[in-house]
Structures are given as structure tokens and as C-alpha cells.
Structure 1
Amino acid sequence: MSEAPPVPALDLADLDGYYDKFFIEDAGEIRHHLQRLAAANCALTARADGSQDSMSTMLLQVDATSLWVDVPTNRALLDAWLSAHHLRFEGSLDRAALRFSCNPGWLDSHEGRPALRLPIPVRMLYLQRREFMRREPPPGGLVCFLRLAEDTEVEATIRDIGGGGLAIVATRSAVKFAVGDVLAGCRIELPDIGEVEVSLQVRHVLARGSLGYDATQAGCEFVDLAPAAQRKLFRYLLQLDRDQLARRRRDE
């Protein structure tokens, strides 16, 4: 194996302190979570620092000082990864979002196949679903398509959304929410991320004049959220927080 380059300095770019209390900096704990990711064959989303292009990869192996990930087949993308100041990874494991950055990377091999070897990150965001506060999407920016029958969908506005659930508003004439009901096969189109399918269990129902004469609101919990859907939701929530932080800076 080739000689490893020096470990980079601490990356301070992740939301600029917005989630500081959820960062892990203990090397042993970071390795533990990375090893869990590798053992569970969890997919990671990777992108070069400063780029909007991302792709899925796999964490192949973790040892005391390094980790190995699968390499992209596109040579231009691989070159971008190799030259990036930092390579950013996002994934999820057991209802928690994990986010870390590391670099520089260098070409190596894993079990006889090409792999990208990187230094162990010096810190990691470890954020469980319950720790995501509810966020309000931009007005009119997010809807949920409720599947009421095999060929019937009703559009509901999402008032707020978090790691564990959401609040939706729909017309009472179109759907009657009842506490305990499970709405399976619902769809949410996350801007710049893609569609996720979720099942929702109604936890409480609110009907009041401020919502409109024919409007009703339901607070719902995600049920049996698939790992892929969970990763997309985590990415969307982090993006909402980044946007909120950027707006605060502009207003200062």
C-alpha cells in the first residue's frame, strides 16, 4: 500500500457551530460508528467540498487510522474527489444521521479492487431523529401526497417537518383524520433531493377557524421509515438549517 499523506486540519465548515453539541470528537467513538456503518453495508452520500455533485458510495473497511470507500467509475469525478480539500459524507444508521468530512484521499485497494483510502475524520455529526427540531419549510414549498386508496391521492400542505414526523393540513371534505390511523404509501417531493415514500401514523388532529373553514391539521409520526428515505429526510432538514443560518447572516 502507498504511503499515507498527512492528516488534514480540523474542518470547521459543518453548519458553523449550529449543531456543535451533537458533534463527536473522541477518536474511539468515531471509529466505532464508522465500523458499524461498514458492518451494516450502509450507503453513504459523498461529494467534494464546494461541489453540488454527489453520489452514493460504500464504506468498505475501517482501521485505526484510515477508512476505505468505493471509488466512482467516472474518472472526472474520481479526480475531483482526489483533489478536493475535503470530501463530505452523509449517511444514517439506526435512526441517526451521521455526517463527517475527511481528506486528502489517495488511491489504494481493498480486497484486490480499487478503493479510496482516507484518514479517519477528526469529528463526526451524530444526530438522532428525536434531536431534529421541527422546521417550517418555505411557504408553499413542501407537500405530502396522501394515499387514501389504491388509485386515490390527496395533496396536503406540510406545515412543519422533523426527523420523527410532520404536521400536515388538508381539507376536511377530502380526508378525515382520526388519531391512530396509519396512512401508508404517502409521497413527499423534497426539493433538490428527490421523492421519498413514507407511512404516517396520526397522533393528534386539530380543526380550527384560523386554518380555514374546511381545513384540518394532523400531527403525524413516521412509521417504519426506510433507511433510504431517512437519509433523504436528514439531508433535507440539514439543508433547511443551512438556509436558515444563511438568512440570519444576511440579516445581521
Structure 2
Amino acid sequence: MRTKEIPLKIELFSNDEENDYLVSNPKEIVSILQTVVERKSRVALYYNEGNSMVLTLILAAGENGVWVDAASNPLDNRHIERSKRIIFVTTHNQAKVQFIATDVMLGIYEDAPAFSLALPSKLLRLQRRDYYRLVTPDIDALKCIIRPVPGQTHIQHEVTVMDISIGGVALVCEASGIELQPGMVYEHCQIELPEIGKLEASIEVKNAFEITDRNGRVKRRAGCVFVKPDGKTTMLLQRYVAHMQQRQARNTKD
């Protein structure tokens, strides 16, 4: 049975919200992380104040600490080792898991470079409908048309949509494309939703960082929100997400 992929994005909470998802029992933390190890679940490692990220794996977890596979780029590893705050995001039984390390050390685990860190004293395990985001397929991925210069609609960039929800989109920018910067607002962006219709909305870039995949390829990802979407935009998004959820459910049964 195929499971839905959960975007490995950092979630921010108030203290009251955080308490609702907090896991602080060491045995439960070990159990969760060991399941992540056994299933070889992808792990996003954020460093450089959350502005840079690499995809990795947790290799081992126990009461004495955690081992995490090193990045393929030695420069990334140096920056990670020097970071004072590293955020890990992964999944456990279709829930997002997030925890922080303040000190990691590059060493060797089973004859390969890996980071060692203490077992986290707490982690967040999130599972609620508000966090659902639809991950778009690599083949025939959605495209977002952005017109960066107001009044000059002939100047446009086509950017790949990594995931989409009723609240916003994550966009992947190639090195030669538009460089989306946090705080920028782009009006009249368009996304063609297959079998649903064309969505037009303003987007605001909330964060942007580089992603290094397991093959060493570097891309820039931008997390964006829809700015005051109207009723038509919200309806199109709801219909598209529901349509794709139904399709994924049918594929899972096949």
C-alpha cells in the first residue's frame, strides 16, 4: 500500500500549541526514532538559521544518542557541524516529527561519515488536517506562472510547484530562473489545475532556502502563501485537493 508523502517543512507554534504535540518521554522518543530508522524515512536537516537544508537519513537511535547520515557535500557538513541550532523534520506513521539539536559532531558510523548527536529531550509529533499539503508528482508537475514586473504581463516565469494546499504553495526555482525572496508579493500568479480550472491569485514569499538532494543537486525552494484569496480561488483549491485525494485513495487500493 502506498502512503501519502508529507512535505518536510518546519512548523512554527506558540508555546500553547507546541504543548499539544509534545513528546518528552525518552522511551517514546527512542521508539519513534527507531521506527524512522527501520523504515528509512527521509529526513530534512535544516541549518544556517533554517535557511539551508539537506535531505538525509537517521542511521541509528538509542538512549545513548542518534546517528545521522552526513551530506554528500563536505562544505555542507562543515556548516552543519558549526551550527548551534539544527532542526530535523521527518515522518512517523503518517505524522510529521520535528526535533532540534544544538550540538552535532561529524564522525564515522559503519565506515561512512555521519553526525552524532544526543537523544533529543523532546520532539513534536504533528498529525492534524490543517497540515495536509498535496505533494505534486514529478511527472506533469503543476506550474506557477509569475509576472514579476507590475504592468508588464509579457515578462513571466514558469516555476514548478512542489506542493500545494488551500493556504499556499511551495515552489522550486532553478538556478537560471526567478529568485524568489522572502517578503516579496507577486500579483496575478496563475496555476492551471488539471480537470478543475485556472487559479489566479497573489502570493507572498514567506521563506526561501537551498535544498541539496541525495545526489548533490542544489535547488532553491520558496514557501509562499496566498494573499487574501477570494471565494473562487478557495473553491478551486478545495476541489483540486479533494480530487487528488480521491485519486490517491483509488491508486492505493489498486
Q: Which TM bucket (shorter chain)?
A: 0.5 to 0.7
Deviation at residue 139 of structure 1 after TM alignment: 9.7
Distance 1:101 1:216 in 2: 34
SS in 1 for 2:126: strand
Deviation at residue 154 of structure 1 after TM alignment: 3.0
Distance 2:72 2:31 in 1: 29
Matched, 1:154 2:172: no
Matched, 1:117 2:107: no
Please identify the structure whose Cα radius of gyration is greater. 1
Distance 1:82 1:98 in 2: 22
Greater relative contact order structure (CA < 8 Å, 6+ sep): 2
The answer on whether the counterparts of 1:88 and 1:99 sit within 8 Å (CA) in structure 2 is yes
* Normalised TM-score (structure 2): 0.53
Matched, 1:42 2:89: no
Deviation at residue 69 of structure 1 after TM alignment: 0.8
Distance 1:132 1:45 in 2: 17
Residue 23 of structure 1 corresponds to which residue in structure 2? 22
Matched, 1:223 2:222: no
Distance 1:49 1:216 in 2: 35
Residue 162 of structure 2 corresponds to which residue in structure 1? none
Residue identity opposite 1:147 in structure 2: P
Matched, 1:67 2:66: yes
Distance 1:141 1:33 in 2: 43
Distance 1:57 1:158 in 2: 34
Distance 1:69 1:15 in 2: 25
Pair 86,224 (structure 1): closer, same or farther in 2 beyond 3 Å? farther
Distance 2:201 2:30 in 1: 37
Deviation at residue 96 of structure 1 after TM alignment: 0.9
Residue identity opposite 1:100 in structure 2: F
For residues 82-231 of structure 1, the aligned pairs below 5 Å read 82-130=81-129, 132=131, 136-137=167-168, 145-148=192-195, 154-156=197-199, 192-193=222-223, 211=231, 217=235, 219-220=238-239, 221=242, 223=245
Distance 2:53 2:126 in 1: 21
Distance 1:84 1:48 in 2: 6
The answer on whether the counterparts of 2:68 and 2:115 sit within 8 Å (CA) in structure 1 is yes
Residue 150 of structure 2 corresponds to which residue in structure 1? none
Deviation at residue 120 of structure 1 after TM alignment: 1.0
How many positions carry a matched residue from both structures? 163
SS in 2 for 1:19: helix
Pair 54,141 (structure 1): closer, same or farther in 2 beyond 3 Å? farther
The answer on whether the counterparts of 2:166 and 2:234 sit within 8 Å (CA) in structure 1 is no
Distance 2:117 2:247 in 1: 31
The answer on whether the counterparts of 2:60 and 2:67 sit within 8 Å (CA) in structure 1 is yes
Distance 1:80 1:105 in 2: 11
* Normalised TM-score (structure 1): 0.53
The answer on whether the counterparts of 1:71 and 1:116 sit within 8 Å (CA) in structure 2 is yes
Q: Which residues of structure 1 form unaligned runs of 5+?
A: 1-12, 160-190, 195-209, 227-252
Distance 2:69 2:27 in 1: 23
Deviation at residue 51 of structure 1 after TM alignment: 4.1
Distance 1:61 1:93 in 2: 15
Pair 16,65 (structure 1): closer, same or farther in 2 beyond 3 Å? farther
Distance 2:126 2:189 in 1: 23
Q: Which residues of structure 2 form unaligned runs of 5+?
A: 1-10, 133-164, 169-184, 203-220, 225-229, 249-254
Distance 2:194 2:126 in 1: 30
The answer on whether the counterparts of 1:97 and 1:129 sit within 8 Å (CA) in structure 2 is no
**Aligned-CA RMSD value:** 3.7
Residue 153 of structure 2 corresponds to which residue in structure 1? none
